[in-house]
Structure 1
Amino acid sequence: MTVDGILFDVDDTLVDTKGAFAAALAAVRAEYLPHVPRAHEPQILSHWRTDPGGYYSRYTRGEMDHVTQRRLRAALLHETYGGAPVTESSFVAWDALFWGTFEKSWTAHDDARAALDVVVAAGLRVGVVTNAASRLQEHKLRVAGLAELPVLVGVDTLGFGKPDHRVFLEGARLLGADPARTAYVGDEPTVDALAAHQAGLTGVWLDRVGHRRGPGYAGSPAPDGGLRDVQDPDALRAAGVLVVTTLSELPAALGYGGSQAAR
């Protein structure tokens, strides 16, 4: 295949957001959930990332603001693990600890820089389409050392986010590329890769080892092609999605060299 441009997701695609969440939630456990053994921190992290209340999805649909979704997720986390109720007033200190630790922990994935260098050297246009606010993601990319990547579409651009097909099409338009000749790369199988494919782009699922959401991850409420397991690589391939396990595989998967092919 041939593409003229690549649109990237940010969190857990270019930036190790899982690692940053792990640090933030470890600080929260120690301060607010000290009765929960440290050994349970992976379960706390999984709870946050799977978002069983669906609050982040509601944020991306424009139904609530970013702080509200975070407060509601914090309240559900405390309820699940036997912590004190999170109120609007108590959330201020909670969020200062959580967000302060989270922001200090942003780093790029080890494979991000090299993959970007390869595709840019090949003449491809690159940009970001994200389900977070544009200014937040610009700041995050600067902290992670990837400031040259333009954030083309954030959840604030159209008032809603992925998996709505219009988000991907707007990203391709702003990139100046035909959607049919544009790839979208993200770590979420349905919200990112399958939705991009259904929008007419080349959808690429970055299935990093150890980075899948835990049990209970439901993916997207949008049509998923009848997938029974939204985190099954073979099912995603059968639905028309490319699957890579590292960004180092991406250039070869798209036909632009590299040392590995998509699995």
Structure 2
Amino acid sequence: MTAIDGVLFDIDDTLVDTRGAFARALAAVAEAWLPDLTPDRVPELLAHWRADAHGRYRQYTRGEVGYDAQRMARANDLHRDFGGPQLDAVGYAEWNALFERRFTESWAAHPDASAAVDALLAAGVRVGALSNAATDYQVRKLAAAGLGDRVPMLVGVDTLGFGKPDPRVFTAACARLGTDPARTVYVGDELDVDARAATAAGLHGVWLDRTGTGTAVHAGAVLTAGEQDRVIGSLTELPGVFGLL
């Protein structure tokens, strides 16, 4: 078995419960901007936001559009499909202020995150974070989740001007972590831009499937036989995948 010197983490829905934070932000948005939508339909809003059917966020991670441009487009996608008004620049600024306030105040670590990080550090494994969001934003998120003192933010979408799945971001993160890609694990909640992209870049990609459904939000392909043993349902399983403990 290949020795592992480092573990790189995705942040959103891997270390931090971003899904839960989005749900609370969208509930606030619905109350203010979608008054005819009943509370029981908030899960539909969350599914719509996470699916991002038009690929707005991925346009941002490829460096094609700015952050606010993609979020305003997603907000208007949401309003169009759920009966809300189309937002101009002024309306979007108000919408985003509400969304961002509720979103950021809801940041919290997944229950399994802290113990998994501590176990890796105790075993002498280096840890760090690589994310498709802006570096400073993710530094704040890790701090709010109580992980900032143990998980340094190494590479964000603004580091190179683009993000995952480009192999160069994984190489850059390994360089900053001080580990060889071939001896580094990358774990994230998205099958395509996390596990598969990391593997293609020469790391050991691990898919964190918290739902246990085997269905990826952005990648409908069936897992190959070689990928089956690189899927975990909780971060508590991560050290055992490569015999780190």
Q: Is the 8 A contact 1:16 1:108 kept in 2?
A: yes
C-alpha distance in structure 1 between counterparts of 2:225 and 2:18, whole Å:
25
**What are the superposed Cα offsets for residues 117-146 of structure 1, whole Å, 9 maximum, x if unpaired?**
100000011111100010000000001100
**Pairwise mapping of residues 115-134 of structure 1 onto structure 2 (< 5 A)?**
115-134=116-135
What CA distance in whole angstroms lies between the structure 2 residues aligned with 1:88 and 1:211? 39
Partner of 1:86: 87
Shift of 1:209: 2.1
Deviation at 1:218, TM superposition (A): 3.4
- Structure 1 residue 249 corresponds to structure 2 residue 241: no
Q: CA–CA distance in 2 between the matches of 1:160 and 1:241? A: 29
1:152 is paired with a residue of what secondary structure? strand
Percent of paired sites with the same residue = 51
SS at match of 1:89: helix
Q: How far apart are the structure 2 equivalents of 1:76 and 1:103? A: 22
Aligned residue number for residue 174 of structure 2? 172
* Aligned position for 1:157: 159
CA contact (8 A) 2:192 2:218 kept: no
**Structure 2 length-normalised TM:** 0.95
- Paired residue type of 1:218: H
Alignment map for 1:197-208 (pairs within 5 Å):
197-208=199-210
Q: How far did residue 246 of structure 1 move?
A: 0.1
Instruction: Tell me if the contact between 1:187 and 1:206 (Cα under 8 Å) persists in the aligned partners.
Output: yes
Within-5 A mapping of 1:29-178: 29-148=30-149, 149-178=151-180
Partner of 1:209: 211
Structure 1 pair 10–213 and aligned structure 2 pair: CA distance change class (3 A):
farther
> What are the superposed Cα offsets for residues 154-204 of structure 1, whole Å, 9 maximum, x if unpaired?
000010000001111111111111100000000000110000011110000
State the Cα distance separating 1:43 from its structure 2 match: 0.9
- Mapped contact 2:212–2:233 kept (Cα < 8 A): no
Range moving further from structure 2, 239-248 or 193-202: 239-248
Which residue of 1 is the match for residue 189 of structure 2? 187
Counterpart contact for 2:4–2:244, Cα < 8 Å: no
**1:66 to partner: Cα distance:** 1.2
Question: Are the aligned partners of 1:127 and 1:150 in contact in 2 as well (CA < 8 Å)?
Answer: yes
1:241/1:133 CA distance change after superposition, 3 Å? farther
TM-fit CA distance, 1:32: 0.6
Note the aligned Cα RMSD (angstroms).
Answer: 1.7
Could you say what secondary structure the match of 2:207 adopts?
strand
CA–CA separation in structure 1 for the residues paired with 2:215 and 2:10: 16
Counterpart AA for 1:199: A
Structure 2 unaligned blocks of 5 or more: none
Aligned pairs, how many?
A: 243
Whole-angstrom CA distance in 1 between matches of 2:47 and 2:186? 25
Distance 1:236 1:29, change over 3 A: farther
Name the SS for the 2:127 alignment partner.
Answer: strand
The Cα offsets for residues 12-39 of structure 1, whole Å up to 9 and x where unpaired, read as 0000000000000001111111111211
CA distance in 2, matches of 1:40, 1:237: 37
Aligned to 1:226: none
Equivalent position amino acid for 2:119 in 1: V
